[in-house]
Structure 1
Amino acid sequence: MVDAWLDFMLGPMRSVGDVYFEHQMIFNTLIVAAAVWQVRKKRPSRSVEETENL
């Protein structure tokens, strides 16, 4: 059922999905690492004065 749906939706691009499924651990690790990096980059860093008051 899922294969038929993927064939219908992706058509000739199905080979891209095959490559993804073969190497999904690598791709998912890169995506999660990029998301964590973006979250850490947007978070304001605490100054020395703020950490001394805690």
Structure 2
Amino acid sequence: MVDVLLDFMLGPFRGIGEFYYEHQMIFNPIVILAAFGKMWVAKKNRQEVETS
């Protein structure tokens, strides 16, 4: 039942999800590192603004 709904809602993009699930051990650390990097840069910029 869920597969039918996903096929209907995602259509041809269903293959992207399957690709992600097959390679999620590669993609998840990249996304986490990008989020931490963005937080670190924002913190650094905020500290520079406060000190000036």
- Structure 1 residue ranges, 4+ long, deviating more than 6 angstroms after superposition: none
Which amino acid in structure 1 is aligned with residue 44 of structure 2? P
* TM-aligned CA deviation for residue 2 of structure 1: 2.6
* TM-aligned CA deviation for residue 44 of structure 1: 3.1
Normalization by structure 1: what TM-score?
A: 0.69
* TM-aligned CA deviation for residue 39 of structure 1: 0.3
Does residue 27 (structure 1) correspond to residue 27 (structure 2)? The answer is: yes
Normalization by structure 2: what TM-score?
A: 0.71
* TM-aligned CA deviation for residue 3 of structure 1: 1.6
For structure 2, which runs of at least 5 residues remain unmatched after alignment? 48-52
* TM-aligned CA deviation for residue 20 of structure 1: 0.4
Matched pairs, number: 46
Tell me which residue corresponds to 1:12: 12
For structure 1, which runs of at least 5 residues remain unmatched after alignment? 47-54
Q: Looking at CA atoms only, which structure, 1 or 2, has the larger radius of gyration?
A: 1
Task: Tell me which protein shows more helix as a share of its residues.
Answer: 2
